[in-house]
């Protein structure tokens, strides 16, 4: 099965629930206020968000007029172009340094942090990198076990402490071990839930601080994992976590599970942080570096 085919399959729900509606609209209507109103409805319905939709359609109208576009098929092509422009055109690679790089992975419970770490480890290992995983979610015993199983499947080492121990200490140890073993990357899991929200945020701050002590310049990346199926809620999570630690990239998971993949456009438009990876399934090969051009063409072409 080809990679592109799998990628398209992963985005099937969004293509059917969102882009197919645009196609039907384009086939059924001439350029008119009604056409644009309906387009707005479709975009909002696909979680592009009200603010982003209004902004997007205004630009679309303006440019369609300037370019004297005659039919809705051309408007659809222009929409694709604008989407790619807004999504940023290029892939935003991870900031991996020459020596050891430390990547913290954060997010609320259940969004896909642990799975995404396994998938990232898999991708990096394929690229020939030596990867170490840190079991920084010490809140649940099952979390450590889950990560161990993934590490075994991928074939990378894991550093863990006992349940209930200090996650910052686990990560400190992992960074030291990585230095001693000459690893290239440490991927750090963190908890998504503690007894209270406040504790979690304080804990993440501490992890950030201690990581910098373990290795000057670290963390090199702080990835925030957001679940695409939670829609606009994902945006408020980004705000909350952004207050704790500077986020350097978004991993948007579970795009395969939603027809509202327009959330990609909202996230990219409203957050100052690039989407670096998207998750489109539960297996190891289902994390992809986010490429706006490929994304838009998988949806529209």
Ligand X SMILES: Nc1nc2c(ncn2[C@@H]2O[C@H](COP(=O)(O)OP(=O)(O)OP(=O)(O)O)[C@@H](O)[C@H]2O)c(=O)[nH]1
* Closest distance of CB 278 from ligand X, Å: 8
Which region, judged by CB under 5 A, interacts with Mg ion, from 50-58, 109-117, 231-239, 272-280?
A: 109-117
Q: Which residue of 46, 111, 158, 218 would you call a contact of ligand X, by CB under 6 A?
A: 111
Residue 282 touching ligand X (CB under 6 A)? yes
Residue 151 touching ligand X (CB under 6 A)? no
Tell me how far apart the terminal alpha carbons of the chain are, to the nearest angstrom: 18
Helices (H) and strands (E) in the chain — how many of each?
A: 13, 8
Q: Which is nearer to Mg ion, 113 or 161 (CB)?
A: 113
Residue 107 touching ligand X (CB under 6 A)? yes
Residue 281 touching ligand X (CB under 6 A)? yes
* Closest distance of CB 144 from ligand X, Å: 10
Q: How many residues bind ligand X (CB under 6 A)?
A: 21
> CB under 8 Å to 107, separation ≥6 — which residues?
113, 192, 224, 225, 226, 227, 237, 241, 251
User: With CB cut-offs between 5 and 8 Å by kind, which of ligand X, Mg ion, none does residue 214 bind?
Assistant: none
Which region, judged by CB under 5 A, interacts with Mg ion, from 17-25, 111-119, 162-170, 171-179?
A: 111-119
Structure tokens at 167: 């996650």
Structure tokens at 165: 């121990």
Q: What whole-number distance in Å separates Cα of residue 110 and Cα of residue 108?
A: 7
Q: What whole-number distance in Å separates Cα of residue 207 and Cα of residue 192?
A: 13
Query: Would you tell me how many other CB atoms lie within 10 Å of the CB of residue 237?
Result: 18
Q: Which is nearer to ligand X, 237 or 268 (CB)?
A: 237
Residue 114 touching Mg ion (CB under 5 A)? yes
* Range 242-261, binding ligand X (CB under 6 A): 253-254, 256-257
Q: Which is nearer to Mg ion, 108 or 263 (CB)?
A: 108
Q: What is the residue whose two structure tokens read 């063409």?
A: 297
Residue 280 touching ligand X (CB under 6 A)? yes
User: With CB cut-offs between 5 and 8 Å by kind, which of Mg ion, ligand X, none does residue 40 bind?
Assistant: none
Structure tokens at 258: 């939603």
User: With CB cut-offs between 5 and 8 Å by kind, which of Mg ion, ligand X, none does residue 282 bind?
Assistant: ligand X
Residue 279 touching ligand X (CB under 6 A)? yes
Rounded to 10 degrees, the C-alpha dihedral 265/115/230/168 comes to -100
Residue 115 touching ligand X (CB under 6 A)? yes
* Closest distance of CB 17 from ligand X, Å: 16
Which helix (H) or strand (E) covers residue 250, if one does?
Answer: strand 249-253
Query: Would you tell me how many other CB atoms lie within 10 Å of the CB of residue 147?
Result: 25
Q: What is the largest CA-CA distance in the chain?
A: 66
* Closest distance of CB 182 from ligand X, Å: 28
* Closest distance of CB 277 from Mg ion, Å: 16
Give whole-number Cα distances, 161 to 108, 117, 140, 148, 272, in Å.
21, 18, 12, 12, 35
**Apex CA 34: angle with CA 29 and CA 40, to 5°?**
100
Q: Which is nearer to Mg ion, 106 or 215 (CB)?
A: 106
Which residues are near Mg ion by CB under 5 A? Answer: 113-114
């Amino acid at each position: 099965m080809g990679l592109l085919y799998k990628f398209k399959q992963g985005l099937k729900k969004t293509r059917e629930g969102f882009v197919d509606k645009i196609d039907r609209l384009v086939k059924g209507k001439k350029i008119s206020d009604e056409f644009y109103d309906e387009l707005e409805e479709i975009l909002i319905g696909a979680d592009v968000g009200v603010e982003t939709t209004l902004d997007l359609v205004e630009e679309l109208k303006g440019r369609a007029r300037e370019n004297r576009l005659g039919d809705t098929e051309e408007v659809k092509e222009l929409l694709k172009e604008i989407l790619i422009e807004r999504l940023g055109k290029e892939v935003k690679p991870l900031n991996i340094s020459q020596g050891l790089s430390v990547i913290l992975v954060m997010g609320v419970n259940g969004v896909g942090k642990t799975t995404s770490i396994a998938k990232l480890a898999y991708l990096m290992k394929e690229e020939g990198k030596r990867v170490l995983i840190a079991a920084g979610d010490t809140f649940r015993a099952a979390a450590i076990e889950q990560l161990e199983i993934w590490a075994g499947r991928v074939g990378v080492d894991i550093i863990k402490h006992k349940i209930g121990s200090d996650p910052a200490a686990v990560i400190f140890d992992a960074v030291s071990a990585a230095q001693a073993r000459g690893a290239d990357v440490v991927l750090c899991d963190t908890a998504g839930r503690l007894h209270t929200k406040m504790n979690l945020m304080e804990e993440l701050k501490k992890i950030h601080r201690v990581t910098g002590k373990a290795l000057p310049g670290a963390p090199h990346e702080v990835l925030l994992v957001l679940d695409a199926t939670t829609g606009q809620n994902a945006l408020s999570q980004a705000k909350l976590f952004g207050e704790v630690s500077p986020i350097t990239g978004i991993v948007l998971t579970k795009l395969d599970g939603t027809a509202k993949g327009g959330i990609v456009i909202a996230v990219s438009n409203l957050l100052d942080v690039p989407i670096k990876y998207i998750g489109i399934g539960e297996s190891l090969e289902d994390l992809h570096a986010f490429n706006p051009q490929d994304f838009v063409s998988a949806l529209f072409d």
